[in-house]
Structures are given as C-alpha cells and as structure tokens.
Amino acid sequence: MPPDTLPAAPPRPPSAPHLAARLLAATLAAALAGCGGGGGASPVPPPVIAPATELSVSASATGATAGGAPVQLTASLNGSGTVAWALAAGSPGALSAASGASVSYTPPASAAVNAAATVTIVATSGSLNKTLTLSLAPDPARPGLTLVAGNIGNGGENNWPRDGLGSEARFSGIAGIDADAAGNVYLADYSLQSSRLRKITPDGAVSTLSNGVRGFGDGPLAQARFEDLTGLSVAADGSIYLDDSSRHFVSSSVDSWTGWTRKLGADGHVSTLASYGTRLGMPPRASALAGRGGALYLVGDDRISVLKADGSTTLLAGGSDGTGAVPADVDGSGAAARFAGLGAVAAGRDGNLYALTSAAVRRITPAGEVSTLARLEPVQLGSASARPAQIGADAAGNVLVLFAAADQTSYQIRKLGGGALAPLYTVGTPQGSYKTAALHMRVLADGAVLVAGRHSVSRIGADGKAVLLAGLEDDTLQAVDGQGAAARYVHPGLLAADANGNIYSVEQADGAPRTAVIRKTTPSGAVSTYASAELSVRVTGMAVNPASQLLVTVAPLDGAEGGGLYRVEAGNSFTLIAGVPGSNTALPLQRDGTGIAARFGLPVLAGIDSAGNVYLEDRVLKNNSGTNVRMVTPQGVVSTVAALPAGLGAAPDGNRYRTDLQAGGIFRVAPDGSQTLVAGTPALQLQLGTELGALPGHLSLIRSIVPTGPNSFAVASGSAIVRLVLPPR
C-alpha cells in the first residue's frame, strides 16, 4: 500500500431508523413480488364508496324556546354525499351552517316570539331529503302577553284596527276592496266608532290613510272626514271613488239614509261628486265603479248609470217597471234591459261590465247592451249550499264568480266557459272545523285573485292556494282540540290552574249551554276536552284543590236559586259533593248540612284553602237577602261562616288580580284594596282585539284570570287563552 494511503474503515452498522426503513422496503417488495407486481406498477387506488341511498336526521331536542339554547342537528348517510341544511319559508331562527354532518339551530330572540310556532328544517343530499320539525315556545320569563292556545284574530263587530305587516295588522270590518295597477290594495274599513280608508302594499304592509274621525268634510285626506264607507273603486289614474252614507234616526223603527260619491284624487284631496238625497228604511244602493278609459258608473238597485263629472247621471242600462216588484232578467239595450235583483258588478279590462243577478251572469257593454252569459245553477260545497257573492274578470277576459258556503267553512271560485260556470279554486274544508270567510273579491292584473272576509285579505295564485296577505280573522266555528294556534275555544272563561301549570277553562262561559264542557290546556299549549256532561246548569266558578282535584260550582240555567258543588274528573265524570243541581224553592233557600242535604242560593266558588276547604259566595235574590259565605269541607259538610279567609285566592305575591271587561284591563288589587292597571288598554275597551307582546298590550272580552306561577297568569281573552308575565317587583 502506498505510504499516503490509509487502511479502509470497517463498515458501520445501520442505525435503527435506517434498519426499519430497509425492512419495510423489503417487506413491500416481497408483497409486490407475491402479487406479480413490482418494477413500475401503479399504486392501488382507494376503494370506491357508492352514493348514499339513505339519509337519517336527528335533533338533540324536540323543541326550543325563544332566546334559549341552540338545538344540535345531526345527519348521517349510508354512502357518499354531502348534506345541505335549510330553514323552510316562514320558520324563525337561524342555522349555524348551510351544510355539514352536524349543524345547530339557534332560536330567535326572546322579544321576537309571542306565540308558539313550528320550525321546519330540511336536510338534503342529492335526491334525498328529510324534514325535522321543532316546536318553538315563547320565552316564559319575558314580561308581556304571549299566546298559549286559540285564535287572537278579530271577529264580530267593532273590532280594534291596527297597522302592521301581514297577520300583525287588524281590520275593524272590511266593507269593500279594490287594487291599483301596482298591486296595492285599498279597503273601506268600518266599525261602530269610525270609518277608515286603509292600504295594503303587495308585501302585506297595512297603513291607515284617513284620520278615522266620523263626520262629513272634504279637503286634504288628513283632514277629510267620512261617515260610513261602504265600498270603493280604484280608477286607472289612481283616483279612488268612495261610497259614503249617513244614517239618521227618525223613530224607534225607522231610519233615514243619505248617500254620497266621494273622490280621493291623485293629489290627496277629497271631494264630493254627487249626493243621493234621503231614503227611509234601507240605505240607498249607490256604488261607484271605475271602468276603462276614465268611465265612471253608478250601480243602483235595478240599474247602472254613467256618473258625470258634474254629479249628474245618465242611464246606461236597466230600470224599473214602476210596480215595485223585482223584474225578471231581460236582455236588451239601455232602458229596455232588466235586472232580476242587481248584485255585484265588476269592470272588465275589455271595457265591459259584468254583473250578478239573482239568476244569471250578465254582460253590459259601454253602449248599454245587456246580454246573459250564463244562468246560475245551485252550487253545493259539501252538504252546504253556496250563494254567488262576487264577480270579476281577469286580464284574459275570463269571468270569475265567487260562491260562499252558507255554513262559512269554505268558498269556491268558478270560471265561466261555454255558457256554464266550472270550479276553478276551492278554499277551506266544506263542513270543516274553521270558518273560511269570503265577502269580497277582486282580480289583479297578474291574474291573482284577492278574497276578503270581514277582517282579513288573502291572495290566491295560479296554484289555487289562498295565502294570507294581511289581517287575521277569528275563524272559530266550534271547539277544536289541538296544539296552540291550531286549537279553538268557544268563549273560554272561568279559568283554574293546577300545580303543574295545566289550565282548565269552561267553554261558552258567557252563555247558557245545556252541556257543561271543560277544556284542559297544558303549559305547552296542548288543548283537550277534559270533561263534558249534559247537566242543564251553568258553571259559576272553578278551582283546583290541594289534592289536584278540579271543583266547580253550578247554578240553574233559568237564574233561579239553587245549585251545587261538583268534583270533575277526566271524561264525563261530574260527582256532586253538596247541594242540588236544579232549582231550589224550599225555604230556607240556604241550608247548612252534609252533601245533598245542604242548599244554596246562587253559589260562586271563591277559593280553596290549604286544608282543602272550599269557600263559596252564595247569593239569595229573594227579598234581596244578600250574599253569605259558605264553607264546604272535603267531606261535603256545608256551614255558613262570617267571611272569606284573608288572602284567599291571592297570587304568590300576596295580591289578587281581577279582570274588568268594561274597562278592558287587568288590575292588581293590593291587600289594602288599592288597584293598579297591569295589562290591557282601557282607552280601547270598546274595540275588540288581542295584541300580544310588550305590556300593556290589548285584551278582548277578558273573562277570567288565574295565577300559574310567580308573576305568571293565564287570561281568557276573546277566543284565546294568553299568558301574562309581569315584571318582578
């Protein structure tokens, strides 16, 4: 070896990581060789997962509370795919993400929910979809008024008007509707106290255009006054022609009427075009109708006239034969034509007028030529007859007729073709459980149909579905068991509550039904019929004793002395504890004793003490004998005591709470007798309607109140039971 050459170093053993790598490489090589691979072979692809054919969804809870904790939503697939989540239209709240295997639903803020609602959530993956529904409850601790169950819509006469969006708005009594080219709806809204011109935008926003002060006066709309608006018609230039009238008392059986045609111009100024003098008995028929090309018509009882700018009229068609009898329909021109009871009349976009008579659909040309398009045949909706109520024509010239069922459960729109009227849309359920009111109809430029009842307006699109545009009807027709807003009460009142927060109410509490019906409503708003029995008595009071038994006092239907105390159990179980259910004529009218040996005058349950003793305020009408306090033990022993125990019937805060139907409010009564208004608006006591939300709110025909917990009460308001929560003191 050369002198400058060093000996070779011995080989170094491989480190542990290098050894592991060599062993792994050798193992893979062997595996590849065993499979026939090696060399430049491609790597094995991952297994293919087939698209999912099943989608499952679940929620961490079945319901949520406004302002409360989120609900976790989870989806799983049996194959490949992604899951998208969405809230159904109209469902309040928000989702944390639009896709993913798990998202959370966040309920809306506490102040945004005044009534129980249903939240619908849809999960989709390709062609797969599943729906989750959650119940959404108002925040039970938020001060204010919230719906427990029933309907808070307006019903009857003299209702409270309110501007707002959609179902938040209220109408006193819709007397006529029409729409402009932009789809804005105008209404004559009438009540016993005022008459207003109202407007609904296409998105359902309701506003009041006139001041609502009854009287007669032209001028700027803000200062103008109307007596009784009974109808209106919108012209192509945006002017609104209004039917106004005034009733004057003549005698106890006779009134006189004066009518006017008023005009609201595009400049916002109100003027009077014509006056129709005075007529005894029924109000005059003088309905303004705006036609094509600026034409203005006046529809009377038996004729249609052209109304000129100076207030004068010229006959277009129809008239009387002078006998006072209703003529038969006669086709012809001008005065030669006759109408057999002229009903609704509408202006078509083709320049013709279309009219309903008692027997036919008629067409009137601008030249006054009258012809019969179809005879009216009897229409049945289910087993109920339906009357022709309104007529209209769409942009294509199709004539539509509205038929309203006599039982108010449904209506049908029929389309004229081939000389006959064929069903087009049917709304409501014939002989169903809810009212479906239909008094007015207008056809919009886009073909949609507006239908109005007394207190709401709906829009029917091409799919035939009626969608609420604005207002809310009290559609209560009969008692309906169900959940929250789907349930219906008939004049609920005389409330009682048990320790679990269940509410008991007497049906038709302000009437005198032969059948005593008691409904039960859970804290979540589930309504059921608790007990029903034909006792031929009226329920005068109700409370729950410490043993969770429901007790009621009853009195005879005819108002005579007599009555008793019953224990009521679920089903049809009414057990007499003391007294007699029928009239009591034997003297003395009030008699102490046990069970049926005792006698009462007109007993009203006042309260139950902690020992289960029941106290009654028992009044005797005969000789104006006044009211005595009677005590009934749990064993049915009746005695007369000096006074009601102190604090009987008090709420947990030690105060008593009472309803005042005339004042339209709920009052706190302190132990010293002083009273404070806590809910309701006494200034509006003559106007019916319920307003939920922040206090003081508005209550309607409030009949009863019962404590359900600290600062919490159930109140019977109109056709609903609402929850009142007062601020802590």
Residues 452-497 pLDDT 10s = 999 999 999 999 999 999 999 999 988 999 999 999 999 898 999 9
| Fold exhibited by the domain 55-137 | Immunoglobulin-like (2.60.40)
Least confident range from 12-16, 105-109, 350-354, 475-479: namely 12-16
Determine contact, residues 375/425, Cβ cutoff 8 Å. Answer: no
pTM: 0.81
Q: Judge whether residue 696 has pLDDT over 90.
A: yes
What is the structure's pLDDT at 258? 87
Q: Is the pLDDT of residue 382 over 90?
A: yes
What tokens were used for 477? Answer: 């027709």
| Strands annotated E in 343-492 | 345-347, 353-356, 360-364, 369-375, 379-381, 384-393, 399-405, 410-417, 420-428, 440-443, 449-452, 456-460, 466-471, 482-483
Beta bridge pairs of residue 371: 363
For residues 294 and 180, what is the distance between their CA atoms, to the nearest angstrom?
14
pLDDT of residue 673: 93
Tell me which residue has tokens 């959609």.
166
Strand (E) or helix (H) holding 17: helix 16-34
- In the predicted model, is pLDDT for residue 36 greater than 60? no
Q: Kindly tell me if the per-residue pLDDT of 711 is higher than 80.
A: yes
**Bigger pLDDT: 482 or 285?**
482
pLDDT in tens, 628-667: 999 999 999 999 999 999 999 999 999 999 998 877 899 9
Q: Give the confidence band of 614 by pLDDT, cuts at 50, 70, 90.
A: very high
How large is the average pLDDT for residues 582-601? 89
| pLDDT > 70: percent of the chain | 90
Cα dihedral sign for 4, 10, 11, 17?
Answer: negative
- Residue 684 is predicted with a pLDDT of 61
Residue type for 604, please?
V
What pLDDT score was predicted for residue 512? 55
- Residue 3's pLDDT is 40
pLDDT above 50: residue 10: no
Q: What average pLDDT does the segment 12-16 reach?
A: 46
Q: What is the mean pLDDT of the chain?
A: 88
Looking at residue 15, what is its pLDDT? 46
The distance of Cα 680 from the centroid of its chain, to the nearest Å, equals 20
**pLDDT tens by residue, 182-237:** 999 999 998 877 899 999 999 999 999 998 888 999 999 999 999 999 999 999 99
In the chain, % helix, strand, coil (3-state, to 5) comes to 5, 50, 45
The yes-or-no verdict on residue 1 having pLDDT over 70 is no
Range from 58-62, 80-84, 143-147, 568-572 carrying the lowest mean pLDDT: 568-572
Greatest CA separation for the chain: 154
pLDDT band at 43 (very low <50, low <70, confident <90, very high): confident
Can you give the residue ranges of every domain in the chain? 55-137, 144-168+649-725, 377-475, 497-640
pLDDT of residue 664: 82
Q: Once rounded to an integer, what is the mean pLDDT over residues 396-420?
A: 95
pLDDT above 50: residue 21: no
Residue 38 pLDDT > 60? no
Confidence of residue 251 (pLDDT cuts 50, 70, 90): low
pLDDT of residue 22: 47
In the structure, what pLDDT confidence band is assigned to residue 538 with cuts at 50, 70 and 90?
confident
Measured distance CA(499)–CA(72) in Å, rounded? 32
pLDDT of residue 589: 85
Q: What is the pLDDT of residue 212?
A: 86
What's the pLDDT score for residue 30?
44
Does residue 699 contact residue 683 with C-beta atoms inside 8 Å? no
